[in-house]
Amino acid sequence: MSKHEEYEKRTEELILPILDKMGFELVDVEYVREGQDYFLRAYIDKPGGITIDDCVAVSREMNVLLDELDFISGAYTFEVSSPGLGRPLKKDKDFARSIGREVELKTYRPREKKKEFSGVLKSYDPQRITIVCDGQELVFERSDLALVRLALDF
């Protein structure tokens, strides 16, 4: 397990009880480098959406634990955010919640000379997802997908 994965896993373990207590859901945790800076981000959600006050409340509690346990070497910025529009689908619960909704997919390698697809999410399992695009079912190996996200409705 890489240090990034270790930091993300430990953060997830620490933040889940806080979110459970507040009635929020953890969408994702990421530890990333952007330029010369490192960021530890937690994406949270709840029915009706997350507010700035929700993010601040979670951040306050989590910062106490992060300072106390100090398990991340080096400087970083901790952020709590809503997943936003067009949120990525990563976990099985994300896919389950999105059955019947329009999704966008990006593949690592071209398929039929395309790398981007959109359609209604029909089904998923640990290895594959199926979308319906123009009346046709398309099945994708999850390992071939660079990104799956909810389609933006404007």
Q: Which domains does the chain have, with CATH numbers?
A: 3-81 (3.30.300.70), 92-150 (2.30.30.100)
The residue that leads in pLDDT, 84 or 15, is: 15
Work out the mean pLDDT of the chain and round it to a whole number: 92
Q: What is the pLDDT of residue 106?
A: 94
Kindly tell me if the per-residue pLDDT of 145 is higher than 70.
Answer: yes
Token couple for 49 = 């959406």
| Position 48, amino acid | G
Distance between CA atoms of residues 41 and 11, nearest Å: 9
Closest among 48, 53, 61 to 21, alpha carbons compared: 61
Residue 107: burial class (beta carbons within 10 Å; 0-12, 13-18, 19+): middle
Q: What pTM was computed for the model? A: 0.71
Q: Collect all residues with Cβ–Cβ distance below 8 Å to 95 and sequence separation of at least 6.
A: 89, 121, 124, 129, 148
> Where residue 24 falls among pLDDT bands split at 50, 70, 90?
very high
Mean pLDDT of 89-99: 86
Question: Is pLDDT at 154 greater than 60 in this prediction?
Answer: no
